[in-house]
Structure 1
Amino acid sequence: MNTIIDLGNGDSLKLEPARRACCLYPGAGGAQVEVTLKVSKARDLVPGITYRVNARMFVERNRDRQRRMLCALSGAYPVTPFIQPGYVYLSGFVTDEQVRAVEQLRAGGDLWVNLALSVSSVEWHVESEPPIQPQRVPAKGELDSGSTRAEGHSLVTLPRSTRAVFESPVPKQRNGDLRFDIKAGEWTAQTAAVDAGNFVELLVPMVDGRDDIDAVAVLCHARELLLEGKVTASISQARMALEQVRKECGTEELYETATKKTPPHRTLAERWAILAEDLWATMSGAVHNDDVTKEITYTNADAAMLVTATAGMLKWLATERETL
């Protein structure tokens, strides 16, 4: 997972991802993305040249490798690479909505990143003019203020090989592609740290008091399992979180009463109770293996819906506890 960029002078740049190649930092409505790359020269034939590295960051699904643009990355400062590897830091910004799209794209798996790199520099090119035509110039002390030629002195002739040599700046740009993967667990930790992306803000309800702390903690675990692609385990944890509160709020008893009535005659509390109990029953396939549930297979999208619905129910049950 590295790329070699030919510098056109017999030398080349090598760029590769650092050990922690990608980090997210909290931002307003999104997150700052920082990508760290290792950079080195193969031979350093022309030392002292400074390079500016920028990139466009794409993400892709490993199975089809269709790139999707995520953001532009700019180099924090120019770098002067040597044979010994150094580091270059690129940063950009992504919105919450963009990171949600990334979560849907990776579907619990590893995230593949493709950087379209642009390396620019200003290099000095040696130029010269054609040989100067032979000409005669006065020798030292030949002329005085009152004559054009001093008696007893000769003229000096410049040699034919004399050239005017100078250096001129030449802007240059080289391009390359660098592809590497970010493991699911590493990306999950980054998104959780910034409280952005995927559906973090939907999965963790804000509850008042300490009565629901255990349920919310279990739901947070369900979220982490889902982001790691562990669908069945995630649904099982979400069901456990809902079960803790449904028993306290008495939705089982309300459900028994509500099912004896036709839907138009049910109270609002009874309708909410049916919704909670049906949600709980829908997730039973993740914890039971009887003749019916053993045929149930949940997808990542199923888990996302069920865990998110559980978060909404926890919030509702917490606020409606006194009326149930």
Structure 2
Amino acid sequence: MANFRFGSNDYTVNIRTQHSASLLQGWGVHRLVLGFEVTAHDKYTEDAPFLVSGNLWTSDLPSPASWVGVLHAPGPIGLKPFTTTLTLETSVTDQQLRGLEKTRAGADLTLRADLTLTGLAERRHWPVASDSENIRIPHAAWSIQLAQVDVGAFVDVLVPITTVEARATAARRIREAKTAIRDQRYEHTVTLARQALDAVREACDTQNVNARAAGKKPAERDQEERWAVLIQSAYNLFSGAPHDDTGTTENFTWTRADAVAAVATAASLLARLEDLP
């Protein structure tokens, strides 16, 4: 919570983030709107007008480019004996959004607002005070905003909680893989995705069903066999990460996009087990 003091602690104004954000679509440039709550304490003047301004930065993200933009309020706020709401806005480009997505790597979006509060009618004390507020936008909420402005697509894959040991282990591998993406360990990410598929292959009897499918023309395979071919193909591809076979997998390279695709594939196939008998 940002805390703004005026005078010798005569009164304070607190600004607390609501950890919410919305994106309003433009042509290559979009409006980012952040929500806050405002509370005044002690000897303040009710309805005294204050202007809030500041700068928005990324926080706890591994990127040298941390400045996002200048924050503006639609107009002054008036201090009240109850909590009021405040919105601050800035502009973000498509390029900035792409950079934020690569940097956060599937984690929550963490930002820092460096704010300045200016008393427009303050005569007793110095009218300016500054402080910072950390903001955390949940991954799912931010992904939905990106999809709404047509700069991203969001599919929520929930790997169900299970008492089946192999599947619980696979779910842990998916969580570890998401962390590995944020750490830019892409080969290790793909290795973890392959390990997560072990539970899928066991539950679906993939080896035997895939062997049966191999003896048929693709158009003649039934649905179970086609799923088996997909699962086994993903497993074979991801197996290139932990192995360095001469002339083949030793030459494999893995990008961030490869790692994300591997985790998404493994997670969705693992989630599918919930609907299987």
Q: Same fold (TM over 0.5)?
A: yes
The structural deviation recorded for 1:48 is 3.1
Q: Report if aligned partners of 1:48, 1:80 keep a CA contact under 8 Å in 2.
A: yes
Q: Distance in 2 between matches of 1:35 and 1:3?
A: 15
The structural deviation recorded for 1:224 is 11
The structural deviation recorded for 1:179 is 0.6
Which residue is equivalent to 1:295? 242
Matched residues, percent identical?
A: 18
1:249-260 equivalences under 5 Å are: none
Task: For 2:137, give the aligned amino acid.
Answer: I
The structural deviation recorded for 1:74 is 0.5
Q: TM-score by structure 1 length?
A: 0.50
The structural deviation recorded for 1:103 is 0.7
1:52 and 2:8 matched: no
Which residue is equivalent to 1:107? 105
| Shift in CA distance, 35/44, structure 1 to aligned 2, threshold 3 Å | farther
Q: Report if aligned partners of 2:11, 2:40 keep a CA contact under 8 Å in 1.
A: yes
Q: Secondary structure at the match of 2:132?
A: strand
Which residue is equivalent to 1:71? 69
Q: Report if aligned partners of 1:119, 1:174 keep a CA contact under 8 Å in 2.
A: yes
Q: Report if aligned partners of 1:67, 1:114 keep a CA contact under 8 Å in 2.
A: no
Which of 138, 143, 147 is the equivalent residue of 1:192? Answer: 147
The structural deviation recorded for 1:124 is 4.8
Task: For 1:118, give the aligned amino acid.
Answer: T
Q: Distance in 1 between matches of 2:29 and 2:98?
A: 10
| Shift in CA distance, 42/305, structure 1 to aligned 2, threshold 3 Å | same
Which residue is equivalent to 1:174? 129
Which residue is equivalent to 1:42? 41
Structure number, greater radius of gyration: 1
Task: For 2:12, give the aligned amino acid.
Answer: S
Task: For 1:302, give the aligned amino acid.
Answer: D
| Shift in CA distance, 74/124, structure 1 to aligned 2, threshold 3 Å | closer
- Indicate the RMSD between aligned Cα atoms, in angstroms: 4.2
Q: Distance in 2 between matches of 1:6 and 1:171?
A: 10
Task: For 1:3, give the aligned amino acid.
Answer: A
Q: Distance in 2 between matches of 1:285 and 1:7?
A: 65
1:198-209 equivalences under 5 Å are: 200=152
1:96 and 2:94 matched: yes
Q: Report if aligned partners of 1:24, 1:31 keep a CA contact under 8 Å in 2.
A: yes
Q: Deviations over 1:25-68 (max 9, x none)?
A: 11110311011110010224333311010121111235x69771
1:117 and 2:115 matched: yes
Moved over 2 A (4+): 43-48, 64-67, 122-126, 220-225, 228-236, 283-290, 292-307
| Shift in CA distance, 11/110, structure 1 to aligned 2, threshold 3 Å | same
The structural deviation recorded for 1:180 is 2.0
Q: Distance in 1 between matches of 2:2 and 2:134?
A: 8
Q: Report if aligned partners of 1:61, 1:111 keep a CA contact under 8 Å in 2.
A: no
The number of aligned residues is 196
1:16 and 2:16 matched: yes
Q: Distance in 1 between matches of 2:112 and 2:233?
A: 38
Q: Report if aligned partners of 1:60, 1:67 keep a CA contact under 8 Å in 2.
A: no
Q: Deviations over 1:144-186 (max 9, x none)?
A: xxxxxxxxxxxxxxxxxxxxxxxxxx87221110012111111
Q: Secondary structure at the match of 1:89?
A: strand
Q: Distance in 1 between matches of 2:29 and 2:63?
A: 25
| Unaligned residue ranges in structure 1 (runs of 5+) | 127-169, 205-219, 237-251, 253-279, 308-324
Task: For 2:36, give the aligned amino acid.
Answer: L
Task: For 1:121, give the aligned amino acid.
Answer: G
Q: Deviations over 1:64-110 (max 9, x none)?
A: 69771001110011111223110111111110000001011111111
